[in-house]
Structure 1
Amino acid sequence: MEELDFFKSPDEFPPRRGGYGLVHVDCVGKRGYTNSALVNLYAKLGLHRYNWLEGTNFELDSIMKFNMRGAASPYYITLVACLPSSGLQQIFQVLVEEERLGILDLTCPISRPQGTESSKKESTPFSRPHSEPVSATHQDRLLGWTKSVIPWPSSEIGFSDTKRFYMLNESELQCDWISLYVELAICTSHRWFKARDLSNFELEIVQVAIESLHDKEPPSLKSKAAVIYIAYKDLAKARTGEPYHYQVVVRRVINEATGTLSIQGDCWIAAAATASGLRSSPTS
């Protein structure tokens, strides 16, 4: 039987008993739509995965349409991306799967230019081959993820162990994927946010440390299997007198054998003692 293209509108699917339970949302020309903040972030996550594997720099331009189900759902997103250096526009198809609700727990097995041939054997045949797949010594996803599984290092230890942690310098803190991870951690636990709410965020990244999940691989900005510790300030909340020092822990695994990106994490208000001890990241 012919494989279904879930990036189509449901009325394009061949009829089948029971249906597929998909909700189709056409976003062209609309200022607001269902789960708009999450869909925008999921689209960016798909481009992040593609850029990482392919060495490109595509940025999200607009969402064309998406299909989803209820509760924890896969999101089949069709979007327009562009290359800032040339202005080239390209239509992409992205699949992001919500593993659980109320916390950051996502997998992204597909992010590709529209029209790329797919294969039933591999989830990402459109990616170039990779000779050194990620070690299988750890799971792509942690079951029952909570912040207590990989807690923030104690104030006594901090990030002083340079063999265990790589501290990002000031210029590296500007990497787009860092703020993307923070926004994903926030919005997956506050699903009512609208896309316009993202533009009101005033987040200042203070400090980022990367810990490799490989015993023999030193941590770096390019670690494909890593835990990322992010300290940030919410400047909008600071003006209202609310607590504004936050911490985010994200576990990221890019399985090079399949190309699947798995990302799990959580965010919380930093303890007063920790917040007062935050320091700016070292410069290069």
Structure 2
Amino acid sequence: MSDFEIVIPKCRTGQRKLRRRPPRAVRNYSSDEDYVDPAEEEEYYRQVRESNGFDVDRCPLPDGGIFPHLLRDKYDYPFHIGLFGRLGLHCYNLQKGANLELIGINKYNSEATGLYVEYITLEAMDTFNNSPCSFQTCVSKYIGPEYASLNVLTELCRLKVPSGPWAIPTGDERQWKDEAIDDFYKCKLPDWLTKDRLAASTNKGQFYELRQSDVQINQWLHLYAEFAFHLHWIGYGKKLKSFLPLDIKKVIIQTKESGEESPRMKLKANNAVFFMSFMANGDPSGMPVEYQAIVRRTMDGKPGHIPLDVDCEAYTCEDESPMPIQKLETPRCSPESSVPVLEEVYWSEDDEMDSEEEEEYQRQVRESDGFDVDYFPLPCGGIFPHEFEDMFVYPVKLGLYSRLGLHCYNLQKGTNLKLIGIHKYNSETSVRFGYYITLEAIDTYNNSPCTFQTCVTEFYPTPRDGIFTLHTHLSRLKVPNGPRATSIYLEKGWEDEAIDDFYKGKMPNWLTKDELAAASDKGQYYELQESDLLGNEWLHLYAEFAFYWRWRGYGSLTPFLPLKIKKIIIQTQESGEESPHLKLKANNAIFFMSFKGNGDPSGMDVEYQAIVRKTMDGKPGHICLEVQSWAYEAP
């Protein structure tokens, strides 16, 4: 199929006004089952007011209300919820000049009145500066033939706001300002656009056909196409993900204003109509199908507001005379998919583990390598699970250990993974302290997020040596649970014989200028330049380990970051006179570091000296840091 039968948009009778939610019906308690404790109901409405609907416990109100959904896996969510979350981010990006992209969805709350309303809390990443954030968006949906087959409206789009009393209710903020929209964009959606009628248009400046580069740069065009695809297969649910990405064939934009001088500016117009043709990666129908979609975008100028009106038709591509494909209809009152809700499990201190439980515990340890283990009351220790309510709030050392695992992986794989947040960790106590950490990371080379696992053990110093030692035994992308062909302990075991004796034994003394000048092999040393520090952020990680070791009982050290590194000298066994900066990439090296904090826990002006010895035994996921640190009052 090459050409489409198209009609230039004409404003038909009747103007479109966005639906407003009808007032809540008067409640009648028909039976004891309908009764809700007034105190419970009052608490429900307090939560709604103070969280704007985003953080609400379940309350069985007879006339509905807001119903919470928690997802077991933030990457596994209903297809339409992913679209709504991305639409909220898209609105925020247009208004704020950001570039937030969806990472995962933590939860969403549903409300059914005259519209379907979703209150979505998600995780996003601003790819301009690789900064993660929690985000909230409220999206309403209406399906019906009155103005368009699908109308979607964002009412709130914002960085996550703490719950609490509000000086001004958000009702006015969410209210759509219909008078701000020109009548040109209020009529029913236009029919499809043909080449002949486009050529016959008296105002060709209203139209702009996008180039392929425009589609590549403006990824939100795929979002618009996915809304149309979702509309046509609205009962298909999450299975639509298997047919992505969509292949956009053509996009023509229409605005009321002519744009002959700079037609590409139509992409940034607040109000525009998009005529789109696309194909899926395969098709739910099992046939080669091409889709025609019309998407109308309008913005009333209020923060967090963007509606999309969407219509879509599909045609087979096999015959010379394309045949339309019927939409897959879904009952309007039924949910699109069932979403698992987290169940809370409580254990009593009196619980005792029987032989079956112990066998189950050992199976979970074997099949998850220690990363996914339920709580078992082992009297002699073992692996214990810990989860965080907020993946961005975690102990200082857990953040350091996570970054060390990522650093090891980056060195060995040539990636640039950075920590976003920590989902959970399991602790193990034996002759050392072990941590099995599951975290969220992103590779800044290609902005791809991933779930990562690292196993780190710590050896606290004795009064004799004063060395804080850390080993990573596993540093990897998350591995599915299941039976293992080989024991993980072979992979985790450290190969001490692979390390040269030069890097074993006692740590060296601090390196003075005189000692450096008197060194018989000056090629072993390299003093880093300022550019080296900028290009190797993991040097700050090494300094933070030394800082943490000095103040390990202090609690949060974040207020004193970032550290200001004054000087670093690297020593290796090998000389490096030809390319001394390559010492930064050496598997084994000793770092002499001096730095200051951004303020200091002591309340004084303090400078630190640290020695960090890095060794790697050549096995995947293995790195060892040995750390010593001293503090001196700055001169």
Q: TM-score range by the shorter chain?
A: 0.7 to 0.9
Which whole-Å deviations, capped at 9, do the CAs of 1:98-129 have from their partners, x for residues lacking one?
122585210001110012678437427xxxxx
Q: 8 Å contact 1:107–1:262 — kept in the other structure?
A: yes
Partner residue in 1 for 2:460 = 100
Q: Give how far 1:32 is off.
A: 4.9
Q: Separation in 2 of the partners of 1:221 and 1:236?
A: 28
Could you tell me which amino acid in structure 1 is paired with residue 567 of structure 2?
A: Q
Q: Which entry has the higher C-alpha Rg, 1 or 2?
A: 2
Partner residue in 2 for 1:225 = 588
Q: Separation in 1 of the partners of 2:543 and 2:564?
A: 10
Q: 8 Å contact 2:383–2:426 — kept in the other structure?
A: yes
Q: 8 Å contact 2:433–2:457 — kept in the other structure?
A: yes
Partner residue in 2 for 1:62 = 421
Q: Give how far 1:31 is off.
A: 6.6
Could you tell me which amino acid in structure 1 is paired with residue 539 of structure 2?
A: I
Query: Does structure 1 residue 184 correspond to structure 2 residue 545?
Result: yes
Q: Which runs of 5+ in 2 are unaligned?
A: 1-361
Q: 2:406 aligns with which of 21, 30, 47?
A: 47
Q: Give how far 1:75 is off.
A: 0.6
Query: Does structure 1 residue 112 correspond to structure 2 residue 476?
Result: yes
Flag the structure with more relative contact order, 1 or 2, with Cα contacts below 8 A and sequence separation at least 6: 1
Q: Separation in 2 of the partners of 1:112 and 1:159?
A: 42
User: SS at the partner of 1:59?
Assistant: strand
Change (3 A) 1:252 1:31: closer
Q: Separation in 2 of the partners of 1:160 and 1:193?
A: 39
Q: Separation in 2 of the partners of 1:187 and 1:216?
A: 32
Q: Give how far 1:204 is off.
A: 0.8
Query: Does structure 1 residue 24 correspond to structure 2 residue 382?
Result: no
Change (3 A) 1:91 1:238: closer
Query: Does structure 1 residue 170 correspond to structure 2 residue 534?
Result: no
Change (3 A) 1:199 1:84: farther
Q: Give how far 1:20 is off.
A: 4.3
Query: Does structure 1 residue 269 correspond to structure 2 residue 631?
Result: yes
User: SS at the partner of 1:152?
Assistant: coil
Partner residue in 1 for 2:450 = 90
Which whole-Å deviations, capped at 9, do the CAs of 1:199-231 have from their partners, x for residues lacking one?
43242111111111x346776111111111111
Which whole-Å deviations, capped at 9, do the CAs of 1:59-102 have from their partners, x for residues lacking one?
00000000113584101000010122432110011001012258
Q: Separation in 2 of the partners of 1:189 and 1:119?
A: 40
Q: 8 Å contact 1:96–1:106 — kept in the other structure?
A: yes
Partner residue in 1 for 2:439 = 79
Aligned residues: 253
Which whole-Å deviations, capped at 9, do the CAs of 1:136-158 have from their partners, x for residues lacking one?
4328764xx5xxx3111233123
Change (3 A) 1:153 1:31: closer
Q: Separation in 2 of the partners of 1:110 and 1:64?
A: 17
Identity %: 25
Q: Separation in 2 of the partners of 1:24 and 1:139?
A: 39
User: SS at the partner of 2:513?
Assistant: coil
Q: 1:246 aligns with which of 608, 620, 625?
A: 608
Q: 8 Å contact 1:77–1:95 — kept in the other structure?
A: yes
| TM-score, reference length from structure 1 | 0.75
Q: Give how far 1:234 is off.
A: 2.5
Q: Separation in 2 of the partners of 1:53 and 1:232?
A: 27
Which whole-Å deviations, capped at 9, do the CAs of 1:232-272 have from their partners, x for residues lacking one?
122413995x24221110010011145421110111124x7
Partner residue in 1 for 2:174 = none
Q: Separation in 2 of the partners of 1:44 and 1:159?
A: 35
| Root-mean-square deviation over aligned CA pairs | 3.4
Q: 8 Å contact 2:475–2:621 — kept in the other structure?
A: no
